[in-house]
Chain A
Amino acid sequence: MKLYSLSVLYKGSTKANLLKAAYDLSSFSFFQRSSVQEFMTFTTALIVERSSLGSRASVKEQEYLCHVYVRNDNLSGVVIADSEYPSRVCFTLLDKVLDEFSRQVNSIDWPSGSPATVQYTALDSYLAKYQNPREADAMTKVQAELDETKIILHNTMESLLERGEKLDDLVQKSEHLGNQSKAFYKTARKQNSCCEVM
């Protein structure tokens, strides 16, 4: 039951702009971590770009679940978790984080901000605290709140894409991914084995 990343972004008209992110890559093999992180950044941005304002969704990709909340004011949050981690807790976390973020960081700075310039430091501790969902939040409270029928479920990343768009092409063109990661993606896709693509 794990959380891998927690990110705050601004959904621009054409692109998603990463404002702040926290990662826990301790469960990945050491030498894969930098590629994994790049893929998580890539996936996070892609999901926000393809989600509409005022929506919540969970996107399944292999054994990962990406939970996204795009607010009506374009502020967005993404949690990447494994399939055991209860999704309700993820959405509670996203609500909390975005609420806090919007109060601490002026909205003027959202469209052009970057992790280097944004003054918000709570993501790392939230990610650490929520690794154990029961310690982080009263489960019963969570179950009462969220109306699950409003959360869109996607079984693959592909279902987010436009007709004709290929994930492989997006990977190739992405500026989030270094050459090593792109090479890694190619070989992993070919093998299609137990290794993690992200």
Chain B
Amino acid sequence: MAESEEEVDVLVQRVVKDITNAFKRNPNIDEIGLIPCPEARYNRSPIVLVENKLGVESWCVKFLLPYVHNKLLLYRQRKQWLDREVLVDITCTLLLLNPDFTTAWNVRKELLQCGVLNPEKDLYLGKLALTKYPKSPETWIHRRWVLQMLQKECSPAGSGQKEQQGQVEPQGEAERSWHTERLQRVLQEEMRVCADAAGRYPSNYNAWSHRIWVLQHMAKGNLKILHDELSSTRLWVSMHVSDHSGFHYRQFLLKSLLGALNLSPLPLADALQVHRSNGDGTAGAADDHASAVPQLFHEEMELCTDLIESYPGHETLWCHRRHVFYLWHHWRKNSQGTGPQSPVLTHTAALLSEASDPHNEGRSSQAMDVDCVPDSSKHGGYTQNTKRLKRGPVPPCPGLPSEHLFVSRILSSCRSPEQGRFANAYRKWLDSVIGQ
């Protein structure tokens, strides 16, 4: 069916308007999709809105896409002016059909910069595009640009953009907390978008590396968020045991937690937030901090063991074990080797060598007293040893012997040939890389 240029023009304008109206009618649209429909039904719009899902019938794409694409390029080449409203609608339509069209995202960057477009609205469009194209590289790249813009806007320096009559007013308490809340909301939403995209495509590298980027740029050294992410992704990886990228994310979280914990002791509030309350009150905070690392590794190795035993034959799980054990092994080596650089490290080293050298205990409690423990006045005769006993035994630390035991156990009971191969390879790795 040959369409004349006018007919196509009319059709396209109708479709773009239908899409815009659909969003106005339903602000809760959470998914877009293509409906396989080779022929148009008489005089019916190809835009379908069902529950919270927006669908485009496939027959119209071959008219719609080239036309709108061309229109945008003409604008870009300054051959045809389009006003801002039209640009918003056209880029929206284009990106829902093809989110890897960089030019459209760049037009939206300009609209964002001059304030015509709201950043959250733009992020929403990206989120929808990802429901259909969960890997779309350009969408993720553009997203990072928007997040950086938002961060600048919400930082104390950035609010200089909103100068009032030439005077730069310092941010008031209320304004600062509004900015912080806004960034928090945006961060949480990014985590959700990444999780959703990860579920829509196996080992979605783009989604997971974006998730890492967000934490690196918007939650630097934030122990609470790192811990929360570790707990919230635990179930996810347990149900996606061959998703390399998901496990790699956990390796990143562990590394970041190591880095954050190795820095000087935290303000009390942060340290408290880190741990589920165990009713010991404030005095246990710094102690928690130091034993956090072995605890973290113990839990991660336990998770790995559990999954390897329940789901035999998944190489991802064995790779994860290597990464975690490697991190643990080197952290332990480094923390035992260092001198009195950081009181935290010394204490942890003492904690670890406790099993082998009980004489260290006296020294370690002195180290902790010197530490910036918030309620040091309360210490008096209340020693670190007593507190540690109250807390319970230190978790068994993974080590070469226990790992070899694990491999033997797996080999003796496994019925899957792949599992046997992976176990043997792991054993060889232990000998050649760790055992030196």
Contacts and interface: CB of A to CB of B under 8 A. Distances in A.
Contacts of B214: none
A1 B240 CA distance: 6
A84 B36 contact: no
A1 B238 CA distance: 9
A134 B310 CA distance: 8
Given A29-B131, A63-B202, A180 B36 contact: yes
A38 to B, nearest CB: 12
A35 interface: yes
A84 B240 contact: yes
A63 B202 CA distance: 10
B132 interface: yes
Interface string B8-35: 0000000000000000000000010111
B151 interface: no
A132 B37 CA distance: 35
A132 B311 CA distance: 12
Given A30-B50, A84-B311, A148 B415 contact: yes
A14 interface: no
A32 to B, nearest CB: 7
Interface string B405-427: 00000000001000000000000
Nearest to B131: A29
B33 A29 contact: yes
Q: Interface residues of A: mostly helix, strand, loop or mixed?
A: helix
Interface in A122-141: 132-134, 139
B314 interface: yes
Nearest to B58: A187
Contacts of A187: 36
A31 B34 contact: yes
B123 to A, nearest CB: 21
Contacts of A1: 239-241
A84 B31 contact: no
B36 A35 contact: yes
A115 to B, nearest CB: 24
Given A1-B241, A84-B242, A84-B311, A30 B202 contact: no
A143 B36 contact: no
A31 B33 contact: yes
Given A29-B131, A31-B55, A84 B241 contact: yes
B60 to A, nearest CB: 14
Contacts of B241: 1, 84
B288 to A, nearest CB: 30
Nearest to B239: A1
A27 interface: yes
Contact of A180 (B37, B132, B200, B314): B37
B270 to A, nearest CB: 34
A148 B48 CA distance: 48
Contacts of A152: none
A187 B38 CA distance: 10
A132 B48 CA distance: 34
B53 interface: yes
A30 B31 contact: yes
B137 interface: no
B199 interface: yes
A84 B240 CA distance: 7
Interface in B240-254: 240-242
A189 B414 CA distance: 39
Contacts of A180: 36-37
Contacts of B37: 180
A12 interface: no
Contacts of A139: 310
Interface in A64-86: 83-84, 86
Contacts of A32: 33, 36
Given A35-B36, A148-B415, A30 B53 contact: yes
A84 B53 contact: no
Contact of A29 (B132, B240, B242): B132
Interface string B298-323: 00000000000011001000000000
A183 interface: yes
Given A1-B241, A148-B415, A84 B33 contact: no
Given A1-B241, A27-B199, A30-B53, A84 B34 contact: no
A30 B36 CA distance: 12
Interface in B36-55: 36-38, 48, 50-51, 53, 55
Contacts of B240: 1, 84
Contact of B415 (A29, A30, A83, A143): A143
B422 to A, nearest CB: 15
A184 interface: yes
| Residue of A35, A134, A148 contacting most chain B CB atoms (<10 Å) | A134
Contacts of A143: 415
A100 B314 CA distance: 32
Contacts of B199: 27
B239 A132 contact: yes
Contacts of A35: 36
B242 A184 contact: no
A187 B36 CA distance: 9
Contact of A30 (B55, B242, B310, B314): B55
29 contacts: A1-B239, A1-B241, A27-B199, A27-B200, A29-B33, A29-B131, A29-B132, A30-B31, A30-B33, A30-B51, A30-B53, A31-B33, A31-B34, A31-B35, A31-B36, A31-B48, A31-B53, A31-B55, A32-B36, A84-B242, A84-B314, A86-B310, A132-B239, A133-B310, A143-B415, A183-B36, A183-B38, A184-B36, A187-B36
Given A31-B33, A32-B33, 11 more contacts: A1-B240, A27-B200, A30-B53, A31-B34, A31-B35, A86-B311, A132-B239, A143-B415, A148-B415, A180-B36, A194-B201
